[in-house]
Chain A
């Protein structure tokens, strides 16, 4: 028992140690703040890649918020029981739908649509936002709905007795109380979006030398797609290989920060209650 329990520690320790030992030598200020990623000339600057990663992640979660939170409120507060009994399970079924299928969907429909109607290359930040928001939507809806329903009924009843309408109750009582749960669902969704690989890789373009994007129709590289694109031909032991593992380390740190924020949000919510 103890052995299997400690194996998780070992595995994590092993992965982190391995990534660090391979990537550490490439991490320095030029790496983090460099503007040019061009392995051919041994230039490894990932600032444009980090910025793109954050833009893609934040934008996707924002879309998921705009569509998902009203949906969660609808399910938790307004939907008749029979509607909820159909929709909630079907949304939950879609949590974790294979992302490769979403990428395929994006490649077949969304990329050509953007190229033909909005201009640009089609493979761009916007396409990444759409695919990732579809991916995070079920998470956001399902967790937020749980958070809203977890608000004690007595709160609602008190408000309704005082003559407030249902929407006033939701806005002034229920939502503020469910705030931290909703926030946590969004942050977790962002962690997923930032760490997602294949679906993003298929729709964001990956330019030869990435730049800091100036338009949502720009093609970008994110941390994960750079790894997937270049792991194959990298010469083991070269500066390039260390730089790729260093990207892995940066990605790991980024996702860890996001997850810590989510945990903090959840904890704060529990204290408030």
Chain B
């Protein structure tokens, strides 16, 4: 009996060790590690570029990419916990005060689209109507020409760059705050997932995330398209940043160069963003 239990223990131990070893066999040799986190707007770009980079430029690197929001990315890179922070808004003065040696590099441009469920009959709203809706002054779709149904607002968390731009370009021009009833989602993906399923919902979303599962409405007759963003007819435009602390190390520099290369910029365009000039 005792012998059996010891054998069982040994087997469990061996299995764990074996799994670890097998795992390590599959792993590629060390060539440096890069940790990137931050804006979920930039996330698809960094993810795809990381994959291409590991595939084509330097197969021996391991690049870990995660979201968290612009605030998180700046926070983490400032504290030295990651190598590159991603942000979809400009650095705030307070952040530059705290970490004066942050170095942003522009990698693309994006806009913020106002989105509703595809079945929603509304196609166009003025900037002021949008601000009133998000402030909770207008709470029913019938007040802006839609069906008689409550407007279900969705917003991003306060650290979000998308929220920062939206507040700056839309809410603050009318001196309004986002309503307390709006549900907070912590990534562009979550916002899109909810709006795609809830008929009465309304939200703002990075233009790069807009696809056929939801409808981007035009603002004062101007559609949220890349052309209108570039000509600055569409009222919301912003720059996407990769941020390093001080001068980036070789690997980080090489990755940023890759994102800025023709191949990287092609990814930026394919994903629905605008490349940098």
CA distance A119 to B183 in the complex (A): 16
- The yes or no answer to B227 lying at the interface (CB within 8 A) is no
Fill in one digit per residue for A205-232: 1 if any B CB lies within 8 Å of its CB, else 0.
1111111000000010000000001101
Known: A115-B198, A236-B79. A209 touches B183 (CB 8 A): no
Fill in one digit per residue for B149-164: 1 if any A CB lies within 8 Å of its CB, else 0.
0001001011110000
Contacts of A219 in B (CB 8 A): 181, 183
Known: A115-B198, A121-B152, A208-B178. A233 touches B183 (CB 8 A): no
> Which partner residue on chain A sits nearest B74 by CB separation?
A233
- The yes or no answer to B68 lying at the interface (CB within 8 A) is yes
CA distance A207 to B157 in the complex (A): 10
Are B180 and A229 touching (Cβ within 8 A)? no
- The yes or no answer to B186 lying at the interface (CB within 8 A) is yes
- Chain B residues touching A, range: 20 to 34
CA distance A236 to B59 in the complex (A): 36
Of the candidates A38, A112, A210, A233, the one whose C-beta lies within 8 Å of that of B72 is: A233
Known: A208-B178, A235-B98, A236-B79. A229 touches B152 (CB 8 A): no
* Residues 130-187 (chain B) with a chain A CB within 8 angstroms: 152, 155, 157-160, 178-184, 186
Contacts of A234 in B (CB 8 A): 75, 159
Known: A210-B180, A236-B79. A112 touches B197 (CB 8 A): yes
> Which partner residue on chain B sits nearest A48 by CB separation?
B180
Are A230 and B180 touching (Cβ within 8 A)? no
> Which partner residue on chain A sits nearest B185 by CB separation?
A206
- The yes or no answer to A39 lying at the interface (CB within 8 A) is yes
- Chain A residues touching B, range: 20 to 34
Known: A40-B158, A235-B98. A208 touches B183 (CB 8 A): yes
CA distance A234 to B98 in the complex (A): 14
- The yes or no answer to B264 lying at the interface (CB within 8 A) is no
Are A229 and B155 touching (Cβ within 8 A)? no
Contacts of A211 in B (CB 8 A): 180
CA distance A219 to B185 in the complex (A): 13
Known: A229-B157, A229-B186. A208 touches B72 (CB 8 A): no
* Residues 23-61 (chain A) with a chain B CB within 8 angstroms: 38-40
- The yes or no answer to A123 lying at the interface (CB within 8 A) is yes
- The yes or no answer to B69 lying at the interface (CB within 8 A) is yes
Are A39 and B184 touching (Cβ within 8 A)? no
Are A230 and B183 touching (Cβ within 8 A)? no
- The yes or no answer to B208 lying at the interface (CB within 8 A) is no
Are B180 and A208 touching (Cβ within 8 A)? yes
Counted as pairs of residues, one from A and one from B, with CB atoms less than 8 Å apart, the total is: 63
Known: A121-B152, A208-B179. A233 touches B184 (CB 8 A): no
Of the candidates A115, A208, A235, the one whose C-beta lies within 8 Å of that of B184 is: A208
Are A205 and B197 touching (Cβ within 8 A)? no
Fill in one digit per residue for A69-103: 1 if any B CB lies within 8 Å of its CB, else 0.
00000000000000000000000000000000000
> Which partner residue on chain A sits nearest B160 by CB separation?
A233
Are A230 and B197 touching (Cβ within 8 A)? no
CA distance A234 to B72 in the complex (A): 7
- The yes or no answer to B71 lying at the interface (CB within 8 A) is yes
- The yes or no answer to A138 lying at the interface (CB within 8 A) is no
- The yes or no answer to A122 lying at the interface (CB within 8 A) is yes
CA distance A206 to B70 in the complex (A): 20
Are B186 and A232 touching (Cβ within 8 A)? yes
Contacts of B179 in A (CB 8 A): 208-209
Some 23 contacts from A to B, beta carbons below 8 A apart, are A39-B158, A115-B198, A121-B198, A205-B183, A207-B182, A207-B183, A207-B184, A208-B179, A208-B181, A208-B182, A209-B180, A211-B180, A219-B181, A230-B158, A232-B69, A232-B72, A232-B75, A232-B159, A233-B70, A233-B75, A233-B159, A235-B71, A235-B75
Interface, chain B (partner A; CB < 8 A)? 68-72, 75, 79, 98, 152, 155, 157-160, 178-184, 186, 197-198
Interface, chain A (partner B; CB < 8 A)? 38-40, 112, 115, 121-123, 205-211, 219, 229-230, 232-236
